[in-house]
Chain A
C-alpha cells in the first residue's frame, strides 16, 4: 500500500508538471497574438508538425489488424490497470485500523495498532506453560457492534494436555484482551516430535 501511495504521489507530481508545461505553451500562443514569436513558437520549437506525422503513422499502424493491434490492446489494458492501481493508492484509507481501548471525546483515545497487539499476544502465548511454538496470531479489528477477534494457534509438548495448555494461554492473554475488549480464540494441537517447551 505504501508503494501504491508513493506511485500515486509521483503520478500526481508528473501530471502537475505536464499541466504546467501545457499552461506555459498556452501562454506563449496567446503572446504570439500580440508579438510575433516566429520560430520561437512552441510548436515550431518542438517541430510538432513532424511529430504529428510520426504519431499519425504510429496510430495508423496500431489500428491496422495484426500483431500490433494485439499489442495495442495489451497496452490499453495495462493502462487501465495502472489507473485502477493509482486510484487505490489515492483513495485507500491512510489510517490503520486501531484496536480501541477507550474513546472519550473530552479525554482522548487509548488505542493500539494491530501489529503490536499481535506481537504481544504471541509473546504472552509463548510464555504459557506447555506451549512449544506459537504461530503468528490473527487479529480482526471489530466495529462498533462487533468485538475484535484474536486467534492464536499453538502447539503443545507431549507431556502437557492440550486443554491445560489452552487454558494457560487464555490466562496469559487475558491482561491484553480484556481491557481492549478483544475476544480470544486459542487453538492448540500436538507438537511435532522433537519440539521443546519454550
Chain B
C-alpha cells in the first residue's frame, strides 16, 4: 500500500548532518535550527523534514536554509522551536516525545536557549519509501 506522499524533503540519512557552510559565526537561532534538524533525523522513525507546500516552514539565514524547522524568539526568552516531520509508520506519540526530549537534551548540552519544542507530523510514508 502506498501511504502519503513526500514532498521533496531534506535528505534523511539518519545520523547524517548537513555540512556547515563557512562564514561568520552562526546565530543561536540558526544553531538551534541545525541542532533540532539533526536530532530529529537521528531518530529512526523520522524520514524527513518538510518545509510545507509553500516552503515557508524553514529557517533561512544567509545562504543556509533549514527546511522543516521554525525558530522564533519566545516572549520569555529563548526560542520556540517547531519541527514538521515526515515519519515512518511508527507510534506518533512516542516518536514526538522522543524528538522533543532529544532536542531539549542536545540544546541544553550545547548551551542554547530553548523555550518550547513543538512537533507536527506532516506526513507518513509506507515501508517501501522508508
Contacts and interface: CB of A to CB of B under 8 A. Distances in A.
Interface in B97-127: 97, 100, 116-124, 126
B96 A116 contact: no
A126 B122 contact: no
A122 to B, nearest CB: 7
Interface stretch (B20-28, B61-69, B86-94): B86-94
A5 B54 CA distance: 10
B116 A108 contact: yes
B121 A2 contact: no
A107 interface: yes
B91 A110 contact: no
Given A122-B3, A123-B89, A179-B93, A108 B117 contact: yes
B60 to A, nearest CB: 18
A113 B54 contact: no
Nearest to B123: A116
Interface in A104-121: 104-113, 115-117, 119-120
A176 B87 CA distance: 14
A110 B123 contact: no
A51 interface: no
Contacts of A115: 4, 123
A120 B124 contact: yes
A160 B119 CA distance: 39
A101 B96 contact: yes
Nearest to B87: A116
Contact of A119 (B54, B80, B93, B124): B124
A180 B94 CA distance: 12
B41 to A, nearest CB: 18
Given A108-B80, A110-B93, A179-B93, A116 B4 contact: yes
A49 B119 CA distance: 62
A89 to B, nearest CB: 12
B3 A119 contact: yes
Contact of A107 (B89, B91, B117, B121): B117
B116 A110 contact: no
Contact of A116 (B82, B117, B119, B124): B124
A109 B91 contact: no
A175 interface: yes
B119 A110 contact: yes
Contact of B1 (A105, A108, A112, A123): A123
Contacts of A19: none
Given A106-B116, A111-B118, A175 B4 contact: no
Return the 7 tightest CB-CB contacts between A and B, nearest first: A108-B116, A112-B121, A108-B118, A110-B96, A116-B124, A179-B93, A109-B118
Interface of B: 1, 3-4, 53-54, 80-82, 87, 89, 91-93, 96-97, 100, 116-124, 126
Interface of A: 2, 5, 98, 101, 104-113, 115-117, 119-120, 122-123, 126, 175-176, 179-180
